[in-house]
Structure 1
Amino acid sequence: MMPKRETSLGKDPAQFRKICIPGDGRCLFRSVVHGACLRSGNSSPSESHQKELADDLRAKVADEFVKRRADTEWYLEGDFDRYVVHMRQPHIWGGEPELLMASHVLQMPITVYMKGKNSGSLKTIAEYGQEYGKHNPIRVLYHSYGHYDALRNPIGGAESKL
């Protein structure tokens, strides 16, 4: 039986499964750490452990911005130092810059998907950390209203070709 938090994204059993992530301002970080656990062959983290891992990843992402300041400052909106301080707060939403830094922190590729408006099928909208490999990336599902969920292959399923 499938856990309550996990849902199929279609009728085809070979499709990815969406793992519902709480919308508490940490959804990007929760989705990424959840995906990193699955990618590493570990079981899904409990919600409280996922929160701890997400907060830890957020802190490391902020540190990575500082470490890579010369390369990142130009594409962040507003004052760099203020941005980093702001991003360290647990209720602040993350986005593309944080996904890029998370790929560096974890040294794993991250692929972001979105459901097609008409077809409902998943479309790749961004890939980060390709320098760490392209096979079996951390997969997250972006919803246009600013929320992220984790994605996983079905049990026993092969890599899905989107």
Structure 2
Amino acid sequence: MLPLTSSGITGDGRCLFRSVAYGACIRRGKQSPSDSVQKELADELRAKVADEFIKRRGDTEWFLEGNFESYVRKMRKPHAWGGEPELLMCSHVLGMPITVHMYTKGADNPRIIAEYGQEYGKDNPVRVLYDGYGHYDALQPSLVRTQPRL
């Protein structure tokens, strides 16, 4: 696997959705989205995730905290933080696998702490980096220049 590079994502309450939208663009071979495009894509993704919760209510209601309708209503707000349930719904909305990475004490590279949407394949997942405190950044493979063999 290629080394991963972190792309800083604005911490405005949308970081999970921004990171996933950023990774989905990269995975589709598109250019890295600007901050304003990230915001737009994140808000679109958030709305689709809330709709996906409703569509999959029978499968999701039991693992959401509190009242289902209140939870979904809260998740529609632009600054509500997302977590594991939203990552799972993002994988369904996008039809893509998502891996969550995190640095652990003493490690040089982040390790995978969660995987979602593996039914959509395991190759080239959307990668996000969780800081352990509520913030997500985008991760992407780095291109490493090697010396040609003679």
| Pick aligned residue for 1:111 from 87, 99, 122 | 99
- RMSD between superposed Cα atoms in Å: 1.1
* DSSP 3-state at the match of 1:149: strand
- The amino acid of 2:72's aligned partner reads V
Q: Which has the higher contact order (CA 8 A, sep 6+)?
A: 2
- The amino acid of 1:136's aligned partner reads N
| Pick aligned residue for 1:80 from 48, 51, 68 | 68
1:81: how far off?
0.2
1:117: how far off?
1.2
Percent identity over the alignment? 66
Using structure 2 for the length normalisation, give the TM-score.
Answer: 0.93
Count of aligned pairs: 144
- The amino acid of 2:115's aligned partner reads E
Gaps of 5+ in 2: 146-150
Deviations 1:123-162 (CA, angstroms, capped at 9, x unpaired): 11000000000000000000011000000001368xxxxx
- The amino acid of 1:152's aligned partner reads Q
CA distance in 2, matches of 1:117, 1:87: 32
2:148 aligned partner: none
- The amino acid of 2:143's aligned partner reads I
CA distance in 1, matches of 2:80, 2:106: 31
Gaps of 5+ in 1: 1-13, 158-162
| Pick aligned residue for 1:100 from 74, 77, 88 | 88
1:140 paired to 2:125 = no
Using structure 1 for the length normalisation, give the TM-score.
Answer: 0.87
Following TM superposition, the consecutive aligned residue runs of length 4 or more in structure 1 with deviations greater than 4 angstroms are none
